[in-house]
Structure formats: C-alpha cells, structure tokens
Amino acid sequence: MRDVPKIDRPREKLTKKGPAALSDRELIAAIIGKGTKGRDVYQVAGDIMNVLKEQGSGLAVGDLTCMEGIGETKACQIMAGFELARRYLIAEDAAKITGPQDILPLVSNLLDKQQEYFLCLTLNGAGELIEKRVITKGLLNHSPVHPREVYADAITDRAASVIFVHNHPSGNPEPSAQDLEITRQLAEAGSILGIRVLDHLIVGKKGHVSLKERGVL
C-alpha cells in the first residue's frame, strides 16, 4: 500500500471522489483497511470479492474467516457493512413494520372470518416482514395456541422478532383473560428463545386493540 500514491489509496480516494469512484475491490479494501504479512490489502480484497461473487446473499462470517488474512474482526466489519447497505439502500421498498398501521393492511381478510384465526408475522433485525403464517384456526370463539407451534417456523426463519394477530369473529376486539394469558406465555417463551414479541394485535369489525399499546407487552 505504501507504493500506491496516496490519492489512489481506497480510503483517501473515497474521501476525495466519493464511493462511486471506487471499484468493488477498492470498496472492500476501504472496509478492511489493511492486508496481512506477505499479502497487501488489494490481494485480500480480491479474494473476498471472489467469495462474494460465489456466495452472494448467502455469504456468512465463516466463508470469510477461512481465508488467509481475514480474522473474525474483519469478517464482522464486512458483514456489518453489507447488512447496513441492504437495510438502508437495497431494501428501501421492503415491508417494514413499525406499528399497527403497518399490520392492519396485511390482515384485513380476517375481519370477515367466522372462525378465530391466529397469525404469526416473523420479522428480521431490520423490522422487515419475513413471512406471515396462520398458526391455528379455531372454533367460533376459541383458537388454542401452543408456543411450540408458534415458534417452530420463527426459528426456521431466524426471526429476530414476531408479531401475533388474531381476530374476534364477534367483531369486538377487546382482549379476553385468555388472550392476555396466552400473550404473556408466548412472550416468556420468546424471551427464552431470544425472539422478541413486538405486539399482539386483536382485530374485529369494530376496530383493533394493540396489547403493546395496552401495556401487556
């Protein structure tokens, strides 16, 4: 790197000309900062670029740490940089859930159901929707829910958090004592698994109730 004119070094070049002026290899070099003994930063960056082309979005820390010159610290810097870019640039149009106003359009079909449906929405660390699933479909006014059924797919999704939604066929969204108890049980189970319960929304033709807003969660 000492042999490279200062203006052409990746970080200096980025400062002077902006990130768009850098090649893919230079951008990676700017992230990792330096190479290792016998291998300069551009050689290491080139290896990372090749692995990235092969793995794409499936790139993992382990794919990087097995490479010469890449330790856990550098691997984490790279992965963090990619994830930050994905969240704020690549995934600008991804469905992000920030409150009941974002959930209601996704579950509007529940309002006309004559049975009680219990749904689980899984979210990633950026609060983006991964999947929406029906966990149980019950009788007219009762839908039994077990933590095992609720969290099985959330674990598979590697979800950071979940939101529960269920309907009241009567139209009245006020939570029952059983609703409150199930919510607390599921929140406790999620805490053990490291999956946060962000909200439990009860919907009906007469409106909706957020148990987070009610202080239950």
**13-41 pLDDT tens trace:** 778 778 777 788 888 888 887 777 777 88
**168-194 pLDDT tens trace:** 999 999 999 999 999 999 999 999 999
**Whole-model pTM?**
0.59
Strand partners, 161: 123, 196
3-state secondary structure at position 213: coil
